[in-house]
Structure 1
Amino acid sequence: MACSSTRLRALRLYKELQYLGREYPDPAYNFNGRIRRMFEKNKTLTNPDDIEKALKMGEYIKNETLALYSLRKYRHLKRHYYPASDES
């Protein structure tokens, strides 16, 4: 039971990260490729503590990526509503 639930958590996390990677601002970074390599590297983990640690790292990456997107949207709105004055 625990094995299938962690597998489902890992698959859901992978899909969420792949979806978030579509809009990653730096195409040279290759976000989706890095996520894929990270999951492939950890696919042989068998210790439940190591698996949980890897899943927490994935959640951390997801939250940081969401924060990056929110910051990008905030900066866009700030530039739109408060344009820089060129009165010099």
Structure 2
Amino acid sequence: MAGPSTRLRVIKLYKELHRLGRDYPDENYDFNGKLRRMFEKNKNLTDPEEIEKALKLGEYIRNETLALYSLRKYRHLKRNYVIAPS
């Protein structure tokens, strides 16, 4: 069984991913719905190794989503601030 610190990590990761899902660029992609189904599918995990594996996947998704947002922001700035040739 997972300890209380693991439970807190899972809750923190879920909240963070849920907040990131609010700004997901593709409206046709149900980010928060998929997130909820993923967490519900894994709610009965008891093996610590499987829990860690699921947490690593969630952290990977968080990092990739943050990278997507940074790239979107960079592209927006690049489009709006064109440097004129000298």
Unaligned runs of 5+ in 1: 84-88
* Alignment of 1:9 onto 2:13: no
Give the distance between the partners of 1:59 and 1:41, measured in 2 at CA. 17
Is structure 2 residue 83 aligned with structure 1 residue 71?
no
Matched residue, 1:44: 44
CA displacement at 1:26 relative to structure 2: 0.4
How many positions carry a matched residue from both structures? 82
Percent identity of equivalent pairs: 73
For structure 2, list consecutive stretches of 5 or more residues without a partner in the other structure.
none
Corresponding position of 2:18: 18
Higher helix share: 1
Residues 28-57 of structure 1: CA distance to partner in whole angstroms, max 9, x if unpaired? 111000000000000000000000000000
The structure whose RCO (Cα within 8 Å, separation 6+) is larger is: 2
CA RMSD of aligned residues (A): 1.1
C-alpha separation in 1, matches of 2:82 and 2:24: 25
Give the deviation of 1:73 after TM superposition.
0.2
| Equivalent AA in structure 1 for residue 51 of structure 2 | I
Question: Which portions of structure 1, spanning 4 or more consecutive aligned residues, are displaced by more than 2 angstroms?
Answer: none
